Amino acid sequence: MRKEDTVKLISAEGFEFVVDKKAAMVSQTIRNMLTSPGSFAETEHGEVTFPEITTTILEKICQYFYWSLQYASILYDSGKESEFHIEPELTLELMMAANYLHT
């Protein structure tokens, strides 16, 4: 996996999640950060820091990115809707993070 194809997402606690750029772009917010014109740090280094998102939530979000990429093909191939499992205790926080990430 080449570095250009990946993005590093950093949580509030400093945990780094290296994900496919394609997956990260599921989030409109991240997409805008990575594609906006001009030499922002995010664009140049492929790193995005989320000081307000905890590690657990960010991990869940990364899971969602990949899930959403596979959703269509799974549905198409198997005819079944795959379910994205969310622990109820995370939901409220996850919802706000998702709102921020526009996803």
Partner 1 sequence: MTILRSRQVLPRPENKPKPAPESPSKALKSGFSFTAIEEPITPAKILDPPSTRSSYESTPTSSSFAQSSVEPDPLRSGFTGFGSESGWVPSSSAVRRSVRLASKRGVHEIERVTRVSSRKRKIDVVSVEKNEGVDSGRVSGKVKVLGGGKENGVEEIGVGVDKLGSVVGTACENGLCLDFGAGEKVVSGKKKANVAFSGQIGNKIKVSGEGERVLHDGSLVGSECENGVCLDLGGSEKSTSMKKAKGKRNIDVVGVLGGDSVKESERGKGCFNLRSGKKVAKPKWEGFGWSDSLKAEGTSILGRVEKGESVDKDSIMSGDRVVDQPKLELGMKKEKSIGSAVPDDSQFAVSSDQNELKNVKSYDGIRDGVIRRLSREEKGKGKLVEVDLLSDCMDEVKLIPEPKRETSIESTVFGDSATPTLENVKVQAMETEAKTHTERTRDRFRNIAKKSASKFAHFSAREEEENHVVDEAEREMPQREVEEEMEDWPGPFSTAMKIIRDRGTNANMQQENSSLHKANSSPVVWVPRKDRQDGRSKLLVPSLQELCIAILSKNVDAITSLDSVPDLLRHRLGQLLCDTRRMNDHFFDLLLSGSPTEIRVRDCSWLTEERFTKSFEACDVNNLMVLQLDQCGRCLPDYVLHATLARSSNCLPALTTISLKGACRLSDVGLGSLLSSAPALRSINLSQCSLLTSDGINRLADSLGSVLRELYLDDCQSIDAMLIFHALSKMENLEVLSLVGLQTVCDDFVSQFLALCGDNIKELVLAECSKLTDSSLKVIAKSCSGLRAIDLSNLAKLTDLTLGYLANGCQAIQMLKMCRNAFSDEAIAAFLETSGEPLTELSLNNVNKVGHNTAISLARCSRNLLSLDLSWCRNLTNEAVGLIADSCSSLKVLKLFGCTQITNLFLDGHSNPQVQVIGLKMTPILEHIKAPDLLGPLQYSSGSSLI
Count Cβ neighbours within 10 Å for each residue of 62-86 and write b for 16 or more, e otherwise.
bbbbebeeeeeeeeeeeeeeeeeee
Question: To 5 degrees, how large is the angle CA 89–CA 91–CA 97?
Answer: 130
Determine if 22 is a binding residue for partner 1 (CB under 8 A).
Answer: no
Q: Which of 72, 78, 79, 80 binds partner 1 (CB under 8 A)?
A: 72
Interface stretch with partner 1, choices 3-11, 29-37, 43-51, 73-81 (CB under 8 A): 73-81
Determine if 66 is a binding residue for partner 1 (CB under 8 A).
Answer: no
CA–CA separation, 68 vs 100, rounded Å? 17
Q: Which residues bind partner 1 (CB under 8 A)?
A: 61, 64, 68, 71-73, 75-76, 84, 86, 88, 91-92, 94-96, 98-99, 101, 103
